[in-house]
Amino acid sequence: MEKVYKTMQRAGACDIAVGVIILVTGLVVGILSIISGSALLKRKNDITF
């Protein structure tokens, strides 16, 4: 029974680590999107279609 608990603990720790990585990646992508959007808004008069 001890083996099962250790396996579940490792799986839980792995899930938490993956969740943190996904959270950080989402924050970085969001920040980069805001920066990119602000650069586009800043130069919107120069953009022609």
5-25 residue pLDDT tens: 999 999 999 999 999 999 999
What is the dihedral sign for C-alpha 25, 28, 30, 46?
negative
What is the dihedral sign for C-alpha 31, 37, 42, 47?
positive
Number of H helices, E strands in the chain: 1, 0
> How buried is 7 (Cβ within 10 angstroms: 0-12 exposed, 13-18 middle, 19+ buried)?
exposed
Q: What is the mean pLDDT of residues 27-42?
A: 96
pLDDT grade, residue 1 (50/70/90)? Answer: confident
Statement: residue 49 has pLDDT above 80: no
- Beta-carbon contacts of 40 under 8 Å, excluding residues fewer than 6 positions away, are 47
**pTM recorded for the entire structure:** 0.71
Q: Is 49 or 30 the better-scoring residue by pLDDT?
A: 30
